Chains A and B, each alone.
Chain A
Amino acid sequence: MEFLLDRAQGEFGRSVDRMLGGARTAEAVRAWAQGDHGPGRALWERLGGVGVTALAVPETYDGVGPLPVELAVAYVESGRHAVPGPLAETAAVAVLLAATAAPAARRWLPRIASGQALVTLAAADGGPYALDADAADAVFAVEGEELWLAPGHGPVQPSFDPARRLARPLSGGELLAGGPAVAEAAERAADWAAFATAAQSLGTGLALLERTVAYVKARRQFGRAVGSFQAVKHRLADVLIGLEFARPLLYGAAVALASGAASTRAEVAAAKVAAGEAGYAAARAALQLHGAIGYTDEFDLSLWIRRARALRSAWGTPSVCRARVLAG
């Protein structure tokens, strides 16, 4: 047993971190929220360049996956840097197409793997909306036992996190696959989406904690750094505890996904609950400890605060996931 990232996995995480650290992601998120997808798409091409978008795509389709551990590493970093776009949906589409629809897989997966194509997905487990459909080159939809390539999407609805652009897929389009295999693959795809969401939640929480620690060290009131007050320290200590105990669950889920263990659904659900709650607790603490500045749209902290709330419920609310933990 060696429940630890190996040297290459650690180095991969650091290289994604370095790349995103120099990529002006905050500006890309803000543009994305305005419907200007150019900077975000450029970011995705860079993610493709370091191999992130190929991690859920099998080698048959020019990918390198499925590599859930590496995907977790990369998605945690993407969450830390607030990368916009349908990250979880991309992983889910790769799993779904590879399992059920060979012609569509040949058409789409190589371009997904390279970061050139942006795709999204609406499926029962993820709710009625296809995230960032307005930015996507393809909108897939699972309806019962059918997998469709939708002919387009409805209007983008305003959402709490404006950088998560929610729209319903239009019905009809191209029927790609049907039958029980689709339902079965959709369940596995939903697990990948929940897992990918958990990784982003953890990264979002880590970013919120880093930023808040830096802020309370610098911000002074009553003649001292507010980070010296015990109420502030203890709240941040609890945030760290939540995040540090979500992390092993995320990698436990990655190991389960890699091995196809019978407990996979429950392990993913446990990771989703823990990471979603920890990321959200980090957002609440970050907002409270920044005070009024944290409540503003203009201050970049808002990018992560809004994201944390959305990710907590995306691809499985805490309650749905808790039920899955006990069903597994």
Chain B
Amino acid sequence: MDLELTERQRAFRDEARRWLAAHIPAVPLPSLETAEGFAAHRAWERTLAEGRWSAVTWPEEYGGRGASLVEWLLFEEEYYAAGAPGRVSQNGISLLAPTLFAHGTAAQRARVLPPMARGEVIWAQAWSEPESGSDLASLRSTARRADGGWLLTGQKTWSSRAAFADRAFGLFRSHREEGAPPHRGLTYLMFPLGAPGVTVRPIGRLDGKPAFAELFLDEVFVPDEDVIGEPGQGWRVAMSTAGNERGLTLRSPGRFTAAARRLVALWRERAADRGAGDDAGCDDAGRDDAGLRDRVADAVIGARAYELFAYASAARPEAGSAGAATGAESSLNKVFWSELDIALHETALDLLGPVGELADGAAEAAGDGGWADGYTFALAGPIYAGTNEIQRDLIAERLLGLPRERR
């Protein structure tokens, strides 16, 4: 048992570090939840792809480097430590791509993956519907057979990135069978958001930014080549890679170790401002020093725990190169990182005191508003990708073996 990097791993990390230092935008990009910021982040994806850093675990033929899971973890560590921009192509790279590797055809991979890696096609997910959230299998949007393809009709919602994205992927009800369980008869399809019959209505998240959207679909034609897996088998296709969304590949440990380091810097800065020595009581702004110190430490501990948990996952013989921590273990991950993310950002805002109330974009916002934006982003974590309540059900039933019940 060790945490030593091999020669190859060290060389990979150093190459990533050098490249990032030379290419990261000098000023932070505008929020990717705005039209301007989305375009800037798309351009950044192209820059990443030119260096072959946009999807390092993919095979080289699709624009990747065939990197191992440990190498991917090292890349992510460097990426966030360097303060690189958020990844606008995340939905495609961490959700759709693993599905294509597991269930897609060679032709689909060749057609879809390279433009995804270059940021030319940004993908949105289209799972939830107004009446189907946690109970996703109850979804009602339909795919009806047409000549050479399918016609999609219905409504999808909470579709992340869809306000500005190019294409989307999701599940549609294609077959109806009397008395069959709801997850039967679904088909996994990819479709263009600009096609005739698609209406995209952006939805403002808690801070008003259009981070997601509603999609209204009226007989939208999708050719057969854009069905992933067998028609009617969509649930199995989607769930076999659901662990990717919940687990490591969506929120890598590097994000949290970097954020925890920034939090410690913020805490030290503030301690220096106040003068050293006094470790009890509250300051003029009512900030409690010992309590905040403990919370800063907990963020550091949590980030380190997640990082080491990931290294342990990567070392297991069954860990693949593209998507570790699938299955029920990814539910442990999901609850852990989503709660860590909120606690870490809450601590930062409490450390900032009155300035913590300022939104990103405010002239006096601390750290270019990153803490405020990060806090808003973090608040969604326990909800998307299967709520934490669903994850706890899965943990209890699949890892602890408690009785399954109708929810």
Contacts and interface: CB of A to CB of B under 8 A. Distances in A.
Interface string A256-274: 0000000000010010011
Contacts, number: 142
A251 B308 CA distance: 9
B282 interface: no
Interface in B1-45: 1-6, 9
Given A3-B315, A233-B392, A233-B402, A326 B305 contact: no
B112 to A, nearest CB: 32
Interface stretch (B94-102, B289-297, B364-372): B289-297
A171 interface: no
B73 to A, nearest CB: 9
A252 to B, nearest CB: 5
A213 B314 CA distance: 28
A247 B310 CA distance: 12
Nearest to B300: A325
A4 B400 CA distance: 22
A325 B303 CA distance: 12
A239 to B, nearest CB: 9
A240 B399 contact: yes
Contacts of A146: none
Contact of B402 (A2, A4, A236, A252): A236
A202 B308 CA distance: 16
Contact of B400 (A240, A248, A318): A240
B301 interface: yes
B283 interface: no
Given A9-B1, A248-B312, A325 B301 contact: yes
Interface in B59-98: 70
Interface residues of B, number: 46
B377 interface: no
Contacts of A325: 297, 300-301
Given A236-B402, A322-B293, A69 B1 contact: yes
19 contacts: A1-B4, A4-B316, A216-B402, A227-B396, A228-B403, A234-B393, A236-B396, A237-B400, A240-B399, A241-B335, A245-B302, A248-B305, A251-B1, A255-B3, A318-B294, A319-B290, A322-B293, A322-B301, A326-B293
Interface of B: 1-6, 9, 70, 264, 267, 290, 293-294, 296-298, 300-302, 304-306, 308-309, 311-312, 314-316, 332, 335-336, 389, 391-393, 395-397, 399-403, 405, 407
